[in-house]
Amino acid sequence: MEKFIAKLIEDPVDITYIAIGCAFVRDSKPENLQQFPPFLQNIYNKNNFRIRLLLIDIKFERPYFLKNYIENLNIVSNDEFYKNNLEIFYLENNFDYNLDNLDMINKIIMEQNNMLIFADYTGRCNSILENYFYEEYKGTKYESIFKENITYDFTNDEYGGCMTNLLENYPLIEDKKLIKINNLSDEDFLDFISKNKLNDEILLKIKCKIKKKLKNFTDIDCVCYRNLVKNNLSDYVVDLISKSIFKNNSYNENNLNEIMINRLYFYKKVIEIFLDDTKIEEFNNIIDSFGKEENYKWLDRLRAVLKNILIIV
């Protein structure tokens, strides 16, 4: 890591990509290429940007995947390669989040006005580091540049794992600046998708994000609600709550319904942007019937309506 940090200082590049737990390469399908994701390949092929990859895992196969995947790759050492504007570093190590090192890397890259894309494919919650550094740089000279130049969370569901589909999970980049839709509040998210002219790349990302939000609502939020109403706080439910709409709420028996209703109206506003009046009426009926019928039956009807909606979205 020290060698890599020294390289950052001595020889800045436009985009630095750090990937943790990226050894699990099943094939050469683009959705599985954690070591050189499609979005980075697209930038590399279409722009004159210099890109540096730091790939970290204790279980890399030999020879290294990119050594065979990229033709005519030049060898610097056993774990360092380059070709034109692309540099590749392999680090066979168990990566433990060293916040001091990451803070140093962030500041080096921000001072250079370059970009850092950090990917964790181990299943850890990517938003933890994103939120940590957001709070760390708030009120400092780094606050605005962190929002546009560094991302620790570009997956649709905050959790990156070995099965992350990299055709659906990618950072949004315009004019060498990041658009962090994961960091937008509900109000700002609605504002963004309703007022901005969305190109194909952004539109696909938004739609994937909406689908994931709706799936999380049915599979996590609704399950948490059902168990909270019954005061069932098993270890499994407590873990789910940490990933749900209830995690930052002071919920009680009186406001559980209010939290759910507010979330349903948020989703209604989101899908209104993409759907016609007929589909909205179906969703309105779901909202109106919330709490008026047995929870499992209501959830089955919600899933049926969403299945129909998601074909269009």
- Residue 162 CB neighbour total at 10 angstroms: 15
Provide the sign of the torsion angle of the four alpha carbons 93, 99, 105, 109, taken in this order.
positive
CA-closest candidate to residue 70, choices 83, 52, 80 = 83
Is the distance from CB of 111 to CB of 140 less than 8 angstroms? no
What is the reported pLDDT for 312? 44
What is the reported pLDDT for 247? 83
Is the distance from CB of 192 to CB of 184 less than 8 angstroms? yes
Confidence (pTM): 0.82
What is the reported pLDDT for 249? 67
The residues with which 117 forms a beta bridge, in sequence order, are 17, 151
pLDDT band at 25 (very low <50, low <70, confident <90, very high): confident
Q: Is the pLDDT assigned to residue 229 strictly greater than 50?
A: yes
Q: How far apart are CA 174 and CA 191, in angstroms?
A: 18
Q: Is the pLDDT assigned to residue 313 strictly greater than 70?
A: no
Task: Provide mean pLDDT across the span 274-282.
Answer: 71
Q: Is the pLDDT assigned to residue 223 strictly greater than 80?
A: yes
Q: Is the pLDDT assigned to residue 218 strictly greater than 50?
A: yes
Q: Is the pLDDT assigned to residue 15 strictly greater than 70?
A: yes
What is the reported pLDDT for 57? 95
Residues with Cβ < 8 Å from 73, sequence gap 6 or more? 66, 67, 81, 82, 83, 88
pLDDT band at 161 (very low <50, low <70, confident <90, very high): confident
pLDDT tens-digit readout, 110-135: 999 999 999 999 988 888 899 999 99
